Amino acid sequence: MPEYRADVLVVGAGPTGLAAAAELALAGVGAVVIDALPGRSGQSKALALQPRSAELLDARGWLEPLRPHVHARLPKGHFAGLPLDYAALETRFPHQIAVEQARIEEVLEERVAAAGSPVRWSHACTAVRQDDDEVTVAVETPTGPIEFTARYLVAADGAHSAVRRALGVPFPGRAARMRMAVADIVLARRPPGLADEWAPPEFGGGGFGYLLPLGGGVHRVLFGGEEQQSLDRSEPVTAAEVQRALEAVHGDGVEVGEVRWGSRFSDASRQVERYRHGRVLFAGDAAHLHLPAGGQGLNLGLQDAFNLGWKLASVVRGRAWTSLLDTYHDERHPVAARVLVNTRAQGVLTVPDPDLLAVREVLGDLLADPAANRRVAGEISGIDVRYPGADPLQGRRLPDDLAEQARASLLAARPVLIGPEVLREIAEPWGDRVDFASASATGILVRPDAYIGWAASGPHDIDGLTGALAHWLGAPVPHSTLR
Ligand SMILES: Cc1cc2nc3c(=O)[nH]c(=O)nc-3n(C[C@H](O)[C@H](O)[C@H](O)COP(=O)(O)OP(=O)(O)OC[C@H]3O[C@@H](n4cnc5c(N)ncnc54)[C@H](O)[C@@H]3O)c2cc1C
């Protein structure tokens, strides 16, 4: 059987796997990406980027190529359809960016291909084994089975992860209680009063049905009524089924012309207990699964990849200690755990109940309060993600007012120390792997994923800086020169 070697094997060319591979490439580590599909389907489950993902893609210069595909800036997010005003967020992107998942994947795939290792489609992972030194993956290809051996494996193969199953990694949580369908349709007759803008969900008829205009006469419909509960995941979504679902909500003034694409999903809510299993790192839907409420899944996966990529690259290049990989779990697991909580809560707010509208009215009133809106918007948008940290700033995202000083470094996915000249001397032994930007501001160490790795408490404070540099960047190298 043919055998291949790679530093890192990424299983799954969805947004998470592609972002992880693009990050690794930027940090000088070649990853091989495989995917079971024969090629990109061109279909999009997710339709929008949350503000924190927009900040991260922008930091790498990857938002720019998406601009021609952006349908709209959506000033509001939502919690179970109740509007959240993103104007309250302290970010240069106080809105969602309406752009299809397929376009995001295309841009990331281009980065991966440009690094010299295009995605290997029609490569399905069928078995995985690992020892202390390497991980070996059996792969089924159109020309027969092959074997890949890698130092690390990123399991980004989605909700039904073959890697998870092959390693016997449990996926604990709650099984599906609601089954739903999604379809992109052309309407032969529009229901009266249908908005041409992003509309909140409407409730009625024992189910729910969102109708979102995608442009070009196509609407995205999401629905989940009684009929969907008994249908298997593999059943195709038919025009007659969509018609019945829309009539339940909009009455008989609506007529479905054509179903362009359809798929089924559920409110199952699960998360792996540890994101790292030896040399295997779980990310995206392979690590966490939840109701796609509020538009968070793709964004979580992207942010997993931005957290993992630079750490894995540092370890593979022998610069950082392998324990750095454990911080990926420590930082990202609680973030997804919290999303599982908010999506389960959102699920309850869509379950048919005679008093559902009353509960929604009360919650809607509460969310109209600026403090409540800011709190929930901060969570759903990813802007308030905060990793564990020793001081008030450590673990927070880089604020916009320092983004310009960090820009050149973040474009290259390099950490940067910003502050007075004295910090440059202290960081000298890490000069091969951290940039320096002189500023009168008090010192701050910005990680490659635009989170703060260390912050001075005042203008002359250097406490903890060398410890933080060693923690994030590995052992110091004497006599190097800062760029
Ligand atoms: C209806 C719906 C609407 C959604 N809307 C939003 C939204 O608005 N915003 C948002 O943020 N998220 C949304 N999501 C969630 C989002 O689409 C997912 O979270 C996202 O696709 C996860 O990306 P991923 O790369 O982790 O996994 P996936 O996108 O599932 O990619 C996994 C890849 O792995 C491949 N693979 C699987 N098995 C193997 C194997 N054995 N070998 C090799 N490759 C394999 C698959 O072919 C696939 O390409 C929505 C989801 C649904 C169902």
pLDDT value of residue 214: 81
- pLDDT, residue 198, reads 57
Residue 71 pLDDT exceeds 60: yes
Which residues make Cβ contacts (< 8 Å) with residue 130, sequence separation at least 6? 136, 153, 167, 277, 278, 279, 280
Q: How confident is the model at residue 415 (pLDDT cuts 50, 70, 90)?
A: very high
Output DSSP code: residue 294.
S
In the three-class reduction of DSSP (H, G, I as helix; E, B as strand; rest coil), residue 67 is classed as helix
Closest CA to 244 of 232, 234, 231, 233: 231
Spatial distance between the Cα atoms of 170 and 209, rounded to a whole number of angstroms: 33
**Which of 61-65, 134-138, 250-254 has the weakest average pLDDT?**
250-254
**Which of left, alpha, beta for 311 (phi over 0: left; psi -120 to 50: alpha)?**
alpha
What would the pLDDT profile of 244-266 be if each residue is shown by its tens digit?
998 888 888 889 999 999 999 99
CA distance linking residue 167 with residue 179, whole number of Å: 28
Calculate mean pLDDT across residues 77-101: 95
Nearest to 99 by CA among 78, 68, 75: 68
Give me the half-sphere count of Cα atoms (radius 13 Å) on the Cβ side of residue 116.
8
Per domain, the residue ranges of the chain are 3-172+270-380, 179-266, 400-473
In 3D space, the residue among 337, 473, 336 whose CA is nearest the CA of residue 417 turns out to be: 473
Residue 196 has pLDDT above 80, yes or no: no
Q: How far is the CA of 476 from the centre of ligand 1 (A)?
A: 39
Q: According to the model, what pLDDT value does residue 363 have?
A: 96
Structure tokens at 317: 């290049």
Residue 439: pLDDT band (50, 70, 90) is: confident
Q: Is 158 in the pocket of ligand 1 (CB under 6 A)?
A: yes
Q: What angle do CA 478, 479, 481 make, to 5 degrees?
A: 120
Residue 209: pLDDT band by 50, 70, 90 thresholds?
low
The domain made up of 400-473 is a member of CATH 3.30.1330.10: no
Q: Which range, 214-228, 348-362, 425-439, has the best average confidence (pLDDT)?
A: 425-439
pLDDT of 440 above 80 = no
Helix (H) or strand (E) holding 145: strand 144-155
Q: Tell me which of 50, 101, 119 to substitute to probe ligand 1's pocket, judged by most ligand atoms within 8 Å of the beta carbon.
A: 101
How many CA atoms lie less than 13 Å away from 203 in the CB half-sphere?
16
Mean pLDDT for 59-68 is 97
Q: Is-contact 367 84, C-beta < 8 A?
A: yes
Q: Which tens digit of pLDDT belongs to each residue from 264-290? A: 999 999 999 999 999 999 999 999 999
In this prediction, residue 217 carries a pLDDT of 85
The first and second tokens of residue 185, run together, are: 């349709």
| C-beta 294 within 6 A of ligand 1 | no
Domain at 3-172+270-380: CATH code: 3.50.50.60
How sure is the predictor about 197, in pLDDT bands with cuts at 50, 70 and 90?
low
For residues 73-82, average pLDDT? 92
14 touches ligand 1 (CB under 6 Å): yes
Cβ pair 416, 451 in contact under 8 A: no
Cα angle at 129 between 128 and 131, to 5 degrees?
150
Among residues of the chain, what percentage have pLDDT more than 70?
96
Per-residue pLDDT at 120: 98
Asked if pLDDT for residue 406 goes beyond 90, the answer is yes
The reported pLDDT for the residue numbered 391 is 81
Cα separation, 146 vs 137, whole angstroms: 9
Mean pLDDT, rounded, of the chain: 92
Q: What is the mean pLDDT of residues 126-133?
A: 97
* Separation of CA 15 and ligand 1 centre (Å): 7
pLDDT of res. 358:
93
Q: Is the CB of 17 under 6 A from ligand 1?
A: yes
Q: What is the pLDDT of residues 364-373, one digit of tens each?
A: 999 999 999 9
- CATH number given to 179-266: 3.30.70.2450
Whether 102 contacts 184, CB under 8 Å: no
Q: How far apart are CA 177 and CA 170, in angstroms?
A: 20
pLDDT above 50: residue 383: yes
Question: Among all chains, which residue has been given the structure tokens 């809607």?
Answer: 364
The whole-number pLDDT of residue 482 equals 41
Tokens 């970010």 sit at which residue?
A: 91
What is residue 202's predicted lDDT score, i.e. its pLDDT?
53
Ligand 1 proximity of 285 Cβ (cutoff 6 Å): yes
**Total Cβ atoms within 10 A of residue 31:** 27
pLDDT score, position 483: 43
CA dihedral 187, 193, 197, 199 (to 10 degrees): -100
Please state, as a whole number, how many other Cβ atoms lie within 10 Å of the Cβ of residue 128.
25
pLDDT tens digits for range 1-60: 888 999 999 999 999 999 999 999 999 999 999 999 999 988 899 999 999 999 999 999
